[in-house]
Amino acid sequence: MCEPSSASTAPSTPPSLLHPPRLDAMDHAAAAQLLWSTASSSSTGAEMELSAPPSAAAVGIVLCRRARRRHHYSVTRRQEGSTLGRVPNASPSRLYAAQELDRDYFCRNGDGEPAASSARLTKDWRMSMDVFERIRSELIKNSYLDETRRDAAGCPPCSADQKMCAALLQLVDGVSSRAVWKYLKIGSSTPTESLQQSSRSMVHHFKGEYLRDPSADELQGIAAEYEVLGFPGCIGCLDCAGWEWDACPVRWHGNYKGAAKRPTLRLEVVCDDYLYCWHLNFGAPGSKNGLNILYASIIFQRIRQGSWPPTQPKSTVDGMALTWFYYLFDGIHPDWRVFVKTYKTPRNKKEKTFGKQQESVRKAVERFFGVIFRRYRILR
């Protein structure tokens, strides 16, 4: 009995299914036609089995083209407005915010009077118009505040007033860089950079005039003011204060936690009765107390080395000429001759009277802390 030949029993297969088309030569229409034709209900089992690889290839081509189309759409949308040759952004809100800021406070184009009075500007920005203009005239020398530049879309940058007011909003109101958007319509990165650049520029331009030690004549003038108050030879009240550092990194909490069990920063100040501060040292960790800060203070290191003060007092006490200046302090600091403190346990009326007078004059440094914490809420 002869066996039937395999050629006579094998089902007939179309040549197109035995040899599927190449993927790179198949377009979208052909892939769709092949996909629908192989999934028809008239196909036999053998045809469906042999058409599985071309069907999978067709589905892969459709999905890949759809993914490429979505990627191209997202890239073009992300780049429009900031790349040459693309459509610029319509009606940038920061330009309108700059015009509104100019109408509210400055009117630099000469279009009438500003909507806010000079007293309102002083209340909002914690400085008068003269001080603001003086600072602005120096800060615009920095290339960061240059208003003549243009971006790739041809739009001008944020104005110098916008950047200065963004820095002042963070200092005065203590708001975050993201909250500046509500009024100035500036992103979160620009206010942060404006605060850094403005601080560096102010230190660079005004360091020689304000951020310096008092001269010999100025020290004699301060001593004359305290002589009227009953403390000849005194040149200031010294004290330390602290404020909570909410944004302290977690890894630094151990170094900056103080008695309040919260990360804090310490501030050392010397000021006179008119709140003129001529020594300010801030940034010490809250884990340090007043004695630690005093031993690390630059001014008292210079006193021990003999390089400060540059002159001697011209006052006398009970016929004895003073040979050194001194500071008014509280009772927790060491008994150095440059410190005048109250009596811990006054024994008579004379010591009580001296203690009351010393505490009343030393309240100037407490008033200074109250003013600076209230005026600049970034320290609160």
215-253 residue pLDDT tens: 999 999 999 999 999 999 999 999 988 888 888 889 999
Map out the domains of the chain as residue ranges. 93-206, 216-379
Tokens in use for 378? 């970034």
Rg (CA), the chain: 38
pLDDT, tens only, 291-332: 888 888 888 889 888 888 899 898 888 888 888 899 998 877
Confidence of residue 380 (pLDDT cuts 50, 70, 90): low
Q: What percent of the chain has pLDDT over 70?
A: 77
Cα(59)–Cα(195) distance, rounded to whole angstroms? 55
Return the closest-CA partner of residue 339 out of 220, 237, 221: 237
Average pLDDT value over all residues in the chain:
79
* Lowest-pLDDT choice from 67-81, 166-180, 225-239, 257-271: 67-81
Q: Which of the pair, 91 or 347, is modelled with greater confidence?
A: 347
| In the chain, % of residues over pLDDT 90 | 22
pLDDT-derived band at 14, boundaries 50, 70, 90? very low
Contacts of 160 (CB under 8 A, 6+ apart): 136, 139, 140, 145, 147
Name every residue whose Cβ is closer than 8 Å to that of residue 243 and which is 6 or more positions away in sequence: 264, 265, 267, 373, 379, 380
Q: What pLDDT, on the 0 to 100 scale, is given for residue 173?
A: 84
* Range of lowest pLDDT (12-16, 31-35, 64-68, 308-312): 12-16
Considering only 46-60, 88-102, 158-172, which range has the smallest mean pLDDT? 46-60
Give the pLDDT confidence score for residue 87 in this predicted structure: 54
pLDDT confidence band for 214 (50 / 70 / 90): very high
pLDDT per residue as tens digits for the range 119-172: 898 888 888 999 999 999 988 888 888 777 777 767 788 888 999 999 988 888
Mean pLDDT, residues 73-96: 58
| β-sheet bridge partners, residue 328 | 237, 340
Q: Give pLDDT, residue 118.
A: 87
Among 144, 138, 102, 137, smallest CA distance to 121 is for 102
Q: What is the pTM of this model?
A: 0.68
- Are 201 and 142 in contact, with CB atoms under 8 Å apart? yes
